[in-house]
Amino acid sequence: MSSNSYRRNEVEILKCGLDWMDAGERVVLATVAHTWGSSPRQPGALMVLSEVGRFEGSVSGGCIEEELIERIRAQFPDRIEMLEYSSGTSRSLPCGGRLLLTIEPLNSRSSLPGLITALRSGQRVVRSIDVEGQSTRWVLAEEDQATAFVDGILNVVYEPAWRLVVVGAGELASWVCRLGGLLEYSIDVCDPREEYRDAWSLAEYTVSGEFPDDHIAQISCDGQTAIVALTHDPKVDDLAMLEALGTPAFYIGALGSSRTTKRRAERLAEHFDVSQDEIARIRGPIGIDLNTRKPQEIALAVMADITATRNGIEVLTSRRE
């Protein structure tokens, strides 16, 4: 797991709850247990609410949050409860469907600090909420475990952050890191060019000075890793692509025009005996086509393409004449 920091939504939400408890407030943790029909949030989504009306996170697209906040303020629960919202019985779900929540008063904080530490370290964790037994616990999750509500027990699996490996420390790379951080990726950055490392301004992301092939080989990239080469320097980006193709990374991309991309493919095939099937794994020109030269918008195009690939979606764009 990267040594660089990343924003993990569950950690931030739970940390808010602990901070409010430290300030003397009573706090509830609401977790989506099950959904039927239209629902903007998935099982496992969570939200903390304090007795004074503060909240962090969400359990719907804004449909029931206001009603839930008022409910907690009016009658703070003293035990773990199940709460159901339905479009047939509540105006709070105008889009239809049903939503089942666990409502859990955080009257004991003994396990939450350890849970937060495990999540921050990249552990795959399952937290169990036993409604009938009025108990909670967390352990490291088994490989085949998934979030599920069965026989009154909600098991919520928190997955490790997906990883984004950025080769290059120029302006575009800094914007890709900013957006990747907002999307909760664990981010690695490397650039062997000293002048670029010296000019790097994002203190939260350390830049390795290793060549990208060495760096990628050392960090054990897996199927939850995206690798992007953004230096526009063949001496650097080609090394990144060669090493990236030897990993199961779900996304591999390199900066450059169609001409640059074609020349890169020719170099890889001619000098490094890379097959056409392997070359086809490289997304180039990188990102979806937004017809822009602004680094912020190119970064948006890159992260949109990564997101679409991660979610099994193909995005096609066309330019208006």
> In whole angstroms, what is the distance from residue 144 CA to residue 249 CA?
20
- Indicate the length of the chain as a whole number: 321
Tens of pLDDT, residue by residue over 225-280, are 999 999 999 999 999 999 999 999 999 999 999 999 999 999 999 999 999 999 99
Residue 216 has pLDDT above 90, yes or no: yes
Q: pTM of the prediction?
A: 0.84
- CATH architecture of residue range(s) 163-310: 3-Layer(aba) Sandwich (3.40)
Domains in the chain: boundaries:
9-158, 163-310
Residue 192 has pLDDT above 50, yes or no: yes
Per-residue pLDDT at 319? 86
Element (H, E) at 126: strand 125-130
Whether 31 contacts 102, CB under 8 Å: yes
Per-residue pLDDT at 60? 84
Mean pLDDT of 87-93: 58
Tens of pLDDT, residue by residue over 135-184, are 999 999 998 999 999 999 999 999 888 999 999 999 999 999 999 999 99
- DSSP state, 210? S
Q: Using alpha carbons only, how large is the chain's radius of gyration in Å?
A: 23
Residue 1 has pLDDT above 50, yes or no: no
